[in-house]
Structure 1
Amino acid sequence: SERSDPNLFGIRHQRHRRRLGGLDERPGLHEDDNAVYAESLLESFLRNLGGGASTLPIVLPLVESLLSSGAPDQWRHRRAGLSVLERCLDASPASFARYVPTAVETALSHASHPCPRVQFQSLQLLGALCVADGESAPVRRPNAARILQALAIGVGSGVTKVSA
């Protein structure tokens, strides 16, 4: 069957669902593909506009609205918000530095979210923040115990992608 759904940015796309052995393919797989595509577009947007001071004021309000969404499918919005933060960090680490404490708190607060996709994205963001941390360790030093606790939750997950 065929369905038309708006994706994260309100663009309509066609989603095809196939029958495999009498069972529908998990719809989450298509959603992951759409999310990866949207993430790569956003990363290109940030890099092509020079990142930093010019783009962060435009992108960060979007992150706030995604993370505070009360929509029934809020996990998609939360995952997207965390992913956008990671893309912002990757595209312009120097300009993003002043937002790091908020990004750490946001990632830690979503580490035990009931949705494995949000947990995974939270751990991805924490990892990116720790790697970008460098020698000075302003992320790891004050948050080490909480980051380890988030990692322990992730490692204990029954979902392979999260626990890996």
Structure 2
Amino acid sequence: MPLLSYRLDESHLVVELCNVVDPDNESAIEQELLTLLPCCGPSTVIVDVVTPLLTPRALGVLLRVRGDAEQRGVSIAVVARYETAREALSAAALNRVLRVAHTLQGAELRSRGCRPGAVAPRRGGLLERLERRVTSSDPVPLTARAVGPYADTSLPRFPGKG
């Protein structure tokens, strides 16, 4: 069973995992992934999980391939495009171990050591304005108060000051 693979750039090889891993195809998929692990080529292999169903067998294959890749000096990152696949990886506590990302760009950033959810820097964007607001040493204006039916419960209460 050949897996579709292509180079993202000179240091990233992307391998698409399109099929659900079950007992019938587990060894064939693992063998294919191991043969795609280069001995001296790209430094990162990104496994792009295109299927929404990530079985325990698939998790085992990914972990075994990661172990072999580490011995060869190659790092593994996983792109989990579907929420169900991300939930399975999270429930197995493999987000950090397998460097799980939502997109290829995110996996590329994770392979460089960037934190999860990192995006390419953009100037003047909403994220930059929010970061500036959060890191600003200016005090929060008193007019910015919580609103809603439970807003007053979030304020500290002192005995005798009603």
Q: Normalised by the size of structure 2, how large is the TM-score?
A: 0.34
Report the structure, 1 or 2, having the larger helix content.
1
Larger radius of gyration: 2
Report the structure, 1 or 2, having the larger strand content.
2
Q: Normalised by the size of structure 1, how large is the TM-score?
A: 0.34
